[in-house]
Amino acid sequence: MNTIAGRIRWTLISLAFAVLLTAAVVIFSGGPQRAPKTWIVQRGHRLVLSSDEVHPDDRYRCPGKGGVTGTPEPNHGVGGSGGVSVETRADGTVIAACEPGPPGNV
């Protein structure tokens, strides 16, 4: 009976160690990362996103007008030929906008 109790004890200790090790890896690796997301901005609208909502590899699209791949660095912006523009402010806020009409029309 001591043998079974000993095996159970060592199994539980091993399991607890594995859980702690896994938690440490997740915590010290920066936590779980999400995959890049595609943000859809309707024509004539803009989307305001906090720095916590965006990922460096996110995509920003206007239906039928193209888009931009990648979130610009703070204090930078980028525009696509399809009428999409994405700007990242100094505080990390991202503003994605889509022209209301055909490309080149405001």
pLDDT tens digits for 19-43? Answer: 888 877 777 776 567 899 999 999 9
Given the DSSP bridges, would you call strands 94-98 and 46-49 parallel, antiparallel or unpaired? antiparallel
The pLDDT score that the predictor gives to residue 26 is 73
Read off the pLDDT of residues 72-99 as tens digits, 9 standing for 90 and up.
Answer: 999 999 988 778 999 999 999 999 999 9
Cβ distance 14 to 36 under 8 Å?
Answer: no
| pTM confidence score | 0.65
Residue linked to tokens 């523009």 = 85
